[in-house]
Amino acid sequence: MTKTQSRPELDRRSAAIARAESRLTIRVPDDVIEAAEKLTAHKIEVKGLPADYFPLLLEDEIVDACIRAAINGRCAKCA
């Protein structure tokens, strides 16, 4: 747990990751998850969405990031 994340936030993050992995039927690599988290945070900031929207958007961003990585040949697991 980081100084900026509470226990419930980490639980929601973990749940979003688990849902994305279930949809993809793979374990998503950490670098793909990190890229998705950065993009999610950026989208929330730019669109002015509430912070509690983060885990909802994160699931879709992980799926999208994994598909992009597979298409671009950056992730063999995602293919």
Q: What is the pLDDT of residues 10-41, one digit of tens each?
A: 789 999 999 999 999 999 999 999 999 999 99
Predicted confidence (pLDDT) at residue 79 exceeds the cutoff of 70: no
Domain span including residue 12: 7-71
Q: Is residue 1 part of a domain?
A: no
Task: Show the tokens assigned to 4.
Answer: 């900026």
Q: Is residue 55 part of a domain?
A: yes
Predicted confidence (pLDDT) at residue 62 exceeds the cutoff of 60: yes
Q: Is residue 79 part of a domain?
A: no
Residue with more model confidence, 20 or 77 = 20
Task: Please report the sign of the dihedral spanned by the C-alpha atoms of residue 2, residue 50, residue 41, residue 60.
Answer: positive
Task: Show the tokens assigned to 48.
Answer: 């002015």
Residue from 43, 55, 57 nearest 12 by CA: 55
Rounded to the nearest angstrom, the gap between the alpha carbon of residue 19 and the centroid of all alpha carbons in its chain is 10
Predicted confidence (pLDDT) at residue 52 exceeds the cutoff of 50: yes
Q: Is residue 59 part of a domain?
A: yes
Q: How many structural domains are present in the chain?
A: 1
Q: Taking all residues of the chain, what is their mean pLDDT, rounded to a whole number?
A: 87
Predicted confidence (pLDDT) at residue 60 exceeds the cutoff of 80: yes
The alpha-helical segments, DSSP class H, found in the chain are 7-24, 30-47, 54-71
